[in-house]
Chains A and B, each alone.
Chain A
Amino acid sequence: DAGVTQSPTHLIKTRGQQVTLRCSPKSGHDTVSWYQQALGQGPQFIFQYYEEEERQRGNFPDRFSGHQFPNYSSELNVNALLLGDSALYLCASSLDYARRDTEAFFGQGTRLTVV
């Protein structure tokens, strides 16, 4: 049983460019959340998708957008990249966002470097 898979593992982009990160959730999971982790910090919640809709959003600008597909996989898009967007981007999947106390499974992350 594959866990949460993310692609690519590493990415280098130039300021002002756009980037798309991808996530496949753990089999059977229907909820995907994205987190940004700056170096030396804890992860920060970006947003959460369930049934192809954004259900919750953290304190991130509109440059950060996402999508969830019918097979529950998800994409994170970041437009007009800034140097400060350099971070590890983590995807987490869980079962039924409306169910409390569910364990979230994380992927290995995508390391984004903006130069």
Chain B
Amino acid sequence: SQQGEEDPQALSIQEGENATMNCSYKTSINNLQWYRQNSGRGLVHLILIRSNEREKHSGRLRVTLDTSKKSSSLLITASRAADTASYFCATEGAGNTGKLIFGQGTTLQVKP
């Protein structure tokens, strides 16, 4: 079963705009990770945020984590057509080292 719920399921924006995706989960976690998947192929790791962290940045990506609300958000700033992909959040549960539980993903389309 899926741990996470992602919102929205699909998002369409223009190049240059910001994209925000949200993820909620149900149980205590060690960390939360965001992945990108192009055209149903392999997953590319974007960023990992630990349970004791609240915000993390990597290039145009900004991730926040609110453990009290069991939710996270991924912000992609100044989006590009190449950002078109599916984005998944995945949680590593407390005590479950290495096992990732994924949400259903957000499909992002960035129009040139």
Does B97 belong to the interface (CB within 8 Å)?
A: yes
Q: Cα distance A80–B22 when bound, in Å?
A: 38
Interface digits, A34-45 against B, CB 8 Å rule (1 contact, 0 not)? 010101111111
Question: Which of the residues B30, B48, B96, B103 comes within 8 Å of A42, measured between beta carbons?
Answer: B103
**DSSP class of A's interface residues: helix, strand, loop or mixed?**
loop
Residue positions of A touching B, CB distance < 8 A = 4, 31, 33, 35, 37, 39-45, 48, 55-56, 58-59, 88, 90, 92, 94, 97-109, 111
Write out the residue numbers on chain B whose beta carbons fall within 8 Å of the beta carbon of A111.
40
Q: Which of A48, A56, A102, A109 contacts B42 (CB 8 A)?
A: A109
Closest A-B pairs by Cβ, 10 of them: A42-B102, A108-B42, A106-B43, A97-B98, A106-B42, A42-B104, A43-B102, A101-B31, A56-B99, A108-B41
Q: Is B58 an interface residue (CB 8 A)?
A: no
Beyond A45-B100, A102-B98, 11 additional pairs, beta carbon < 8 A: A35-B102, A39-B40, A43-B43, A43-B90, A48-B98, A56-B96, A90-B42, A100-B31, A101-B48, A103-B33, A106-B43
A104 with B104: in contact, given A88-B40, A109-B41, A109-B42 (CB under 8 Å)? no
- Which residues of A sit under 8 angstroms from B48, Cβ to Cβ? 101, 103
Chain B interface size, as a band, is 20 to 34
In this complex, what residue of A is CB-closest to B1?
A59
Of chain B, the residue at the smallest CB distance from A94 is: B98
Decide: A104 and B98 in contact? CB cutoff 8 A: yes
Bound-complex Cα distance A109 to B108 (A): 21
B61 within 8 A of A: no
Known: A42-B88, A45-B101. A107 touches B42 (CB 8 A): yes
- A56 to B97 alpha-carbon distance, docked (Å): 9
Residues of A within 8 A of B45 (CB): 103-106
Residues of A within 8 A of B101 (CB): 45
The answer for the CA separation of A49 and B44 in the assembled complex, in Å, is 21
| 18 A-B pairs in the complex with CB atoms less than 8 angstroms apart | A31-B98, A33-B98, A37-B40, A42-B104, A45-B99, A48-B99, A56-B98, A88-B40, A90-B42, A97-B98, A100-B31, A104-B45, A104-B100, A106-B42, A106-B45, A108-B41, A108-B42, A109-B40
